[in-house]
Amino acid sequence: MTIDFRAEFDKRQEDFMADLISLLAINSERDDSQANKEHPFGPGPVRALEHFLAMAERDGYQTRNIDNYAGDFEYGEGEEVLGIFGHLDVVPAGSGWETDPYQPVIKDGKLYARGSSDDKGPTMACYYGLKIIKELGLPISKKVRFIVGTDEESGWADMDYYFVNNGLKDPDFAFSPDAEFPIINGEKGNITEYLHFSGHNQGEVHLHSFKGGLRENMVPESATAVISGAVNQQELVEKLSEFTKQYAVSGQVEVVEKGYQVTIFGKSAHGSTPEEGVNGATLLALFLNQFAFEGEAAAYLAIATNLHDDFKAEKLGLAYTDACMGDLSMNAGVFRFEDNSVDNTIALNFRYPQGTDEQVLKTGLEKLDGVSKVTLSSAHHTPHYVPMDDELVKTLLSVYEKQTGLKGHEVVIGGGTFGRLLKRGVAYGAMFPDSVNTMHQANEFMALEDLFRSAAIYAEAIYELIK
């Protein structure tokens, strides 16, 4: 049976766009300030989940909402189950957008909105891939379970809850449409380690506060500090102007009640690729480090300065490379300092290959001058790898090669996807090798043609895995 999956998708393109735009219009950022039993991660993720499940019910699926943590539906019959894992939550929009991040805009063949590429766009493309198989009534011998989560961008508590409470056996194999083609069959370990500091000031210049970063898995797009003491506004403005010109960024000085507020604006990026961003927090520390801070404030700024552009943790003495999985990477993601606080922090998100581990990193960090202690995040993922000779990997690469004419090959990433939830799990699309990666950045977009051709690839891939 020969099926032109792209032609089948094109028949449904208008419906696809309507469904996707309605989903993108929902602000599904995690909001712990409004979290409760009915809204475990705040109301936004729940709204997105309910919207997606209502769409699936419209299309004839029997859906399940697992206590507003996650949802699923199944299609087909058979003993073996293919799992498809997407997520509906998004990272905070942040600043720097040219359009409203929750009013999707199509411009120059690109769809701009938070979640367009991570992960509502790819999840919807995959959903329509399965929709094609269902509507054509293609013969299959396995079952598909389509699962959507609501906390992928934070701690994966959605999937922790889902696997304990969904009442079904785990899928036998799975993929997640939340990365890139040709395939992601290896993912580095992922752990955040927190450096703790006291907040006492000594010296001629006083650090009242230092704040930067929204999430541990995002490069801080900006940072702000409030200082006072032996420094004046004109000096600050002149020095900042020279500094921002040198590093090709922007900044500002404002007079506030306690002294002067200094802000530097960088560029956000995904925490797995910190080299693609400009860390506003480490830049701000680098700028402030020239002034006469002393005591624990000076220690805080010195370490933050040392983190600047240290993407492989080489300055910290923690660099590590594995022949298969590549280099360790580090993102200095969240900075919080308050004068006289006993618990100021810097959050370092590590993506590490096999051969090292979180305890080795912790031991190294504990040697840093001025650090009172080091703690670890509860969310922790160890390195994950599915061999190239696995039938799942071979099938997905074969479909990719057929549809694109490009050679498939294995890829190991620092990012963490739901593909690692199962031993036989991978990530598959939806970014192509020539795509521009705007995940976790301002003005996130996905090219419409990339969405359309990925939907066709997903349709054929799902069919090949379950026929």
Distances (CA, A) of 257 to 70, 264, 344, 375, 437: 46, 19, 22, 34, 41
Alpha-helical regions (H) of 166-317: 233-247, 280-288, 295-306
How much is the pLDDT for 379? 84
* Per-residue model confidence (pLDDT) at position 153: 93
DSSP state string for 333-384: EEEEEETT-S-EEEEEEEEE-TT--HHHHHHHHTTSTT--EEEEEEEEE--E
Judge residue 14's burial from the number of C-beta atoms within 10 Å of its C-beta, 0-12 exposed, 13-18 middle, 19 or more buried.
exposed
**Average pLDDT over the chain, rounded to an integer:** 96
Which residues, listed in sequence order, are joined to residue 380 by a DSSP beta bridge?
Answer: 191
Residue 124 tokens read as 């919807």
| H or E element, residue 255 | strand 250-256
pLDDT, one tens digit per residue, over 147-178 is 999 999 988 999 999 999 999 999 999 999 99
pLDDT value at 415 more than 80: no
Q: What is the pLDDT of residue 338?
A: 95
Predicted confidence at residue 66, as pLDDT, reads 98
| pLDDT of 211 strictly over 80 | yes
- Lookup: tokens for 182: 């040709």
Give the pLDDT score at 309: 97
The pLDDT-based confidence of 253 (bands split at 50, 70, 90) is very high
In this prediction, residue 199 carries a pLDDT of: 82
Q: What mean pLDDT do residues 420-435 have?
A: 96
d(CA 70, CA 84): 13
pLDDT exceeds cutoff 80 at 190? yes
The pair of structure tokens assigned to 102 is 């929750």
| Average pLDDT value for residue range 342-362 | 96
Q: Quickly state the pLDDT bin for 277 (edges 50, 70, 90).
A: very high
Q: One of 19, 72, 89, 450 is an active-site residue; which one?
A: 89
For the question of residue 57 being annotated catalytic, the response is: no
Using alpha carbons, select from 109, 114, 116, 148 the residue that is nearest to residue 130: 148
81-87 vs 105-107, strand pairing mode: unpaired
Contacts (Cβ under 8 Å, ≥6 apart) of 356: 320, 328
- Going 378 to 174 to 179 to 20, the CA torsion angle's sign is negative
416: confidence class by pLDDT, cuts 50, 70, 90: confident
Helix, strand counts (H, E) of the chain: 11, 26
* pLDDT one-digit tens code per residue, 294-310: 999 999 999 999 999 99
Question: How many Å apart are CA 247 and CA 336, to the nearest integer?
Answer: 23
**Cα distance between residue 120 and residue 25, in whole Å:** 11
Q: Hey, what are 153's tokens?
A: 């961008």
Q: What is the pLDDT of residue 282?
A: 98
Which strands form 222-229's sheet, in the order they lie side by side?
Answer: 250-256, 259-265, 222-229, 205-212, 329-338, 344-352, 189-197, 373-381
**What is the pLDDT at residue 155?**
84
Percent of the residues in the chain that have a pLDDT greater than 70, as a whole number: 100
Task: Note if 89 is an active site residue.
Answer: yes
Dig out the tokens for 442 from the structure.
């301002």
The span from the CA of 386 to the CA of 421, in Å, is: 12
pLDDT greater than 80 at residue 1: no
CA 292 to chain centre: 37
CA-based nearest residue to 167, from 237, 93, 64, 83: 64
Q: Report which of 452, 465, 444, 464 is spatially closest to residue 116, judged by C-alpha positions.
A: 444
The model's confidence at residue 197, banded by pLDDT at 50, 70 and 90, is very high
Residues 14-30 have a mean pLDDT of 98
pLDDT tops 90 at residue 64: yes
Predicted pLDDT of residue 2: 87
| Beta pairing class for 259-265 and 321-322 | unpaired
Q: Which of 29, 59, 152, 460 is catalytic?
A: 152
The yes-or-no verdict on residue 113 having pLDDT over 90 is: yes
- The band of 198, judged by pLDDT with boundaries at 50, 70 and 90, is confident
pLDDT band for 414, please (50, 70, 90 cuts).
confident
pLDDT score at 10: 98
Q: What is the pLDDT of residue 187?
A: 94
Distances in Å between the alpha carbon of 351 and those of 214, 236, 374, 386, 459? 18, 36, 17, 18, 32
The DSSP code for 274 is: G
- Report which of 267, 239, 272 is spatially closest to residue 253, judged by C-alpha positions: 239
